[in-house]
Structure 1
Amino acid sequence: MIDNKIKIPIPKEWNDISVQDLFKLKWQAPKKLVHNLRMEKSVLLNGEVTLWTESLKTGDQLEISISEKDKKTIQPTYFSIDILYEDDHLLVVNKPATMITHPNVDEKNTLLNAVIYYLNGSYASHIHRLDKNTTGTVLFAKHPLSHAILDRMLEERKIKRTYWALTDGLLHKKVGIINAPIGRDRHHSTRRRVSNTGQSAVTDYRVLSTFPKEQLTLIECTLRTGRTHQIRVHFQHIGHPLAGDKLYDGSSLFNRQALHARKITFIHPFSLKKLEIQAPFIDEPAIFDRFFKRND
């Protein structure tokens, strides 16, 4: 059994609230996790076991020991990875193309395998996923408490993910919303499609630049929902599939869909600082660089 010890300095925003209310109201931590921490006396305040009704003061330090009893065994695998941000609670990685985010069954050549290798076998769990051939920011939790909090933040849309894409053709509407439900394509096992019986899906976009010579549009997108292949399906639906996206009728200009998770923005759940983490382009050969430079 592994114990994950985390230390959290108390910011001024939590002054005078109790330990109990910090877990219950601020973090909305899972009841089972909180129960185990209380029973095992795993929460220290300034180095001492504390009552859960104790009021916190700015500058106090909580120390929490979290047992990883139910940790799944995932094979650490070495790959060179691009760490964009890391602290004791989370990390953000720039995912390359051709790599899937997490293993299915016994796969071991995934981004999660590489992150666990980087962390010397310690806890890591992805908070969201990217398609195999999409590059950019992926957020990982480094202990079960941050995992639970970040999962909830994602569900409540408190984690903003910004994507860049190159679409086929020239979009003349500079700002738009695509609101079209997405479901499975019953004729193709991996494709999705716009369907009246599908799950609600909303994509906001704005045009950054158009390139008449190449017949391409550089767009920035944010998602109000997180459906599988959402951006790819939505832009195919409006007649502008992503360049290189063979699955969704895109052109063959590139060897993958031209989609990059450019930026992730959220309030850190423990420090309460705003994080805005941007992923550089890492394609070899480059897809976005020449269009980005012209846009810049």
Structure 2
Amino acid sequence: MTQPKSDLPDASPDRRTVTVEAGEAGERLDRFLAAKLDDLSRSRVKALIEQGMVSDDGTPAGDPSQKVKPGQRFTVTLPPPETAEPDAQNIPLTVVYEDDDLIIIDKPAGMVVHPAPGNPDSTLVNALLAHCGVSLSGIGGVRRPGIVHRIDKDTSGLLVAAKNDLAHASLTTQFAAHSIDRAYLALVWGVPMPPAGEVSGNIARSNRDRKKMAVVASGGKTALTRYRTLGRHGSLVSLVECRLETGRTHQIRVHMAAIGHPLVGDATYGGRRNRGTANQNTANQNTGGNDPVKTALANFPRQALHARELGFQHPRTGERLLFRSNLPADIQQLLDLLGIISPNGLPGGN
């Protein structure tokens, strides 16, 4: 656990001066400045120009598309980042890695990532605002963490957030290019056949229930999940690793349910598999039976899904980073009861 950093903002504007060299003539102003000031995205530079925060020897440069000339001297004024609307809250976080550009969090199940109706506070964003404090230089001029991907409230595991425009732009590009390594561990009903394969199918909002996602025959967004079975308990449940080639809402939950192997504990996509186990558990109790495996499976309170692996190229250094997270106690205890060996503690498991 880590302690929150100071959240007192620096009220002084940041002024930077850039001179156009002979070989840089003819570039668009916004592109030229973004290349020179590598911690600012081009969209951020464009906004600053349009706000009158970029001057050419004291004269506001109001056109982002103007061509720069040799010897021009531009001053860029960065106002102090605005305070983010969500409140900073002192919520303990498990920080896996942190530097000036980004932070990796091992999120517990039950924590919402971003404030929204129904979850206005106590989110990961609230916690990051308190933890990171002044190290957040601002995303688009607002002192806030850049959330470039999310994991569901009841999914545990690794998540990266950007601290500045440079990191935010780079990570967003990597996610869009599907160059991020993401592996999840899931406990699913049944035994997938074949034991390793891939699930493809466009995902969109369900026509029957707009709160759910579904595999659709037309429209939607392309989605691809690669899976492999790591262990199983007879024919009842299996531990699978799922690697995402795309990142759609509820992708693993939807894809595994689509091939007949929904996640244990998934009340949204589990269908009759979860309800059937619960009914069997009730029948066992009513007749004096006691099957600890079925009881544990029936009572598991969330989808058994953990974001175990996260890899990407560092936005500033270009170094390839890879992080792994061990299974949380609730899923590990369930696997122990099932007699399934998890990757925790094995080579490559940490």
The answer to whether TM tops 0.5 is yes
TM range (shorter): 0.7 to 0.9
**Shift of residue 169 of structure 1?**
0.4
Corresponding position of 2:203? 182
Residue 76 of structure 1 aligns to which amino acid in structure 2?
A
**Shift of residue 29 of structure 1?**
6.0
**Shift of residue 226 of structure 1?**
1.6
Structure 2, unpaired ranges of 5+ = 1-9, 15-22, 25-30, 57-67, 137-143, 278-296
1:197 equivalent to 2:212? Answer: no
Give the number of aligned pairs. Answer: 267
Whose Rg is larger? 2
Match of 1:276 among 319, 322, 342: 322
Q: 1:136 to 1:285 in 2, by over 3 A?
A: closer
Match of 2:309 among 248, 256, 263: 263
Deviations along 1:122-144, whole A, 9 cap, x unmatched? 43121100111011111101112
1:184–1:193 CA contact under 8 A, matched in 2: yes
**Shift of residue 111 of structure 1?**
0.9
Match of 2:42 among 8, 26, 31: 31
Q: 1:119 to 1:26 in 2, by over 3 A?
A: closer
Q: 1:33 to 1:168 in 2, by over 3 A?
A: same
| Greater fraction of residues in strand | 1
Secondary structure at the residue paired with 2:175?
Answer: helix
2:39–2:165 CA contact under 8 A, matched in 1: no
Q: 1:103 to 1:52 in 2, by over 3 A?
A: farther
What's the Cα RMSD here?
3.5
Deviations along 1:1-40, whole A, 9 cap, x unmatched? 86798xxxxxxxxxxx98x779449979643423438927
1:169 equivalent to 2:182? Answer: no
2:332–2:342 CA contact under 8 A, matched in 1: no
2:191–2:235 CA contact under 8 A, matched in 1: no
CA distance in 1, matches of 2:69, 2:81: 23
**Shift of residue 95 of structure 1?**
0.9
Corresponding position of 1:93? 105
2:107–2:159 CA contact under 8 A, matched in 1: yes
Deviations along 1:165-212, whole A, 9 cap, x unmatched? 111101131321111111212332321111123423333323242323
Q: 1:265 to 1:70 in 2, by over 3 A?
A: same
**Shift of residue 146 of structure 1?**
1.6
2:265–2:304 CA contact under 8 A, matched in 1: yes
2:182–2:244 CA contact under 8 A, matched in 1: yes
Q: 1:53 to 1:255 in 2, by over 3 A?
A: farther
1:104 equivalent to 2:125? Answer: no
Match of 1:141 among 162, 167, 171: 162
Corresponding position of 1:9? none
Deviations along 1:93-138, whole A, 9 cap, x unmatched? 0111111111015711111111111113643121100111011111
Q: 1:52 to 1:144 in 2, by over 3 A?
A: farther
Corresponding position of 2:86? 74
Corresponding position of 1:230? 251
Q: 1:78 to 1:169 in 2, by over 3 A?
A: same
Q: 1:234 to 1:79 in 2, by over 3 A?
A: same
1:184–1:198 CA contact under 8 A, matched in 2: no
1:207–1:217 CA contact under 8 A, matched in 2: no
Corresponding position of 1:116? 129
TM-score, with normalisation over the residues of structure 1? 0.77
